[in-house]
């Protein structure tokens, strides 16, 4: 009997502030052994990372996975491009939206699901400065309302 255990490794917290998230996809990742071990130690960072479609395949760039400290030799490069595993139909859909509608592919989080490293990839559109101010204003209003409710 398999249980569905999810262990979060890292999350891109700035993504929801900088982008409007339209759709999300779960993708597998092609990793080296030392990369998997580093992920299990929680040594990953998604800040400034993005994904691109090249030759019908999806790659994630600028995702930092720290070197594995216990590897004697043959450690990985921390910022190397990593291939993501998606269905061909999903890749075609993403390719059309990214090229025609001005969307971006942004990694949201990396986690382990049933022992396999997975990534949540978002189809996102960038926010303008006034959109970000609106987000901050709504967040502050919500915080103030929660504070008032708590005091009662």
- Using CA atoms, how far apart are residues 85 and 56, in angstroms rounded to an integer? 11
Q: Is the pLDDT of residue 87 over 90?
A: yes
For the chain, what is the mean pLDDT?
Answer: 86
At 106, list the tokens.
């942004």
Residue 64 has pLDDT above 70, yes or no: yes
Q: Which residues 6+ apart lie within 8 Å of 63 measured at CB?
A: 44, 45, 46, 49, 79, 82, 107, 110
Q: Average pLDDT in the 61-84 region? A: 85
Q: Mind listing the domains of the chain with CATH numbers?
A: 6-127 (2.40.280.10)
Give which of 81, 69, 11, 82 is closest to 45, Cα–Cα.
Answer: 11
Confidence of residue 1 (pLDDT cuts 50, 70, 90): very low
The average pLDDT across 116-131 equals: 88
Query: How far does CA 148 lie from the centroid of its chain?
Result: 34
The secondary structure of residue 19, as a DSSP letter, is E
Q: Provide the whole-model pTM.
A: 0.80
């Amino acid at each position: 009997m398999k249980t569905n255990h999810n262990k979060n490794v890292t999350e891109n917290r700035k993504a929801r502030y900088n982008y409007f998230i339209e759709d999300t996809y779960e993708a597998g990742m092609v990793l080296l052994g030392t990369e998997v071990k580093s992920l299990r130690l929680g040594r990953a960072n998604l800040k400034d990372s993005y994904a691109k479609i090249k030759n019908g395949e999806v790659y994630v760039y600028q995702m930092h996975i720290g070197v594995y400290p216990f590897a004697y030799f043959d450690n990985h490069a921390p910022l190397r491009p990593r291939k993501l595993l998606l269905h061909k139909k999903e890749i075609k859909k993403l390719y059309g939206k990214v090229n025609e509608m001005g969307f971006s592919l942004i990694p949201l989080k990396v986690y382990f699901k049933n022992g396999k490293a997975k990534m949540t990839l978002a189809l996102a559109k960038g926010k303008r400065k006034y959109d970000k101010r609106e987000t901050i204003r709504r967040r502050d209003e919500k915080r103030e309302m929660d504070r008032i409710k708590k005091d009662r």
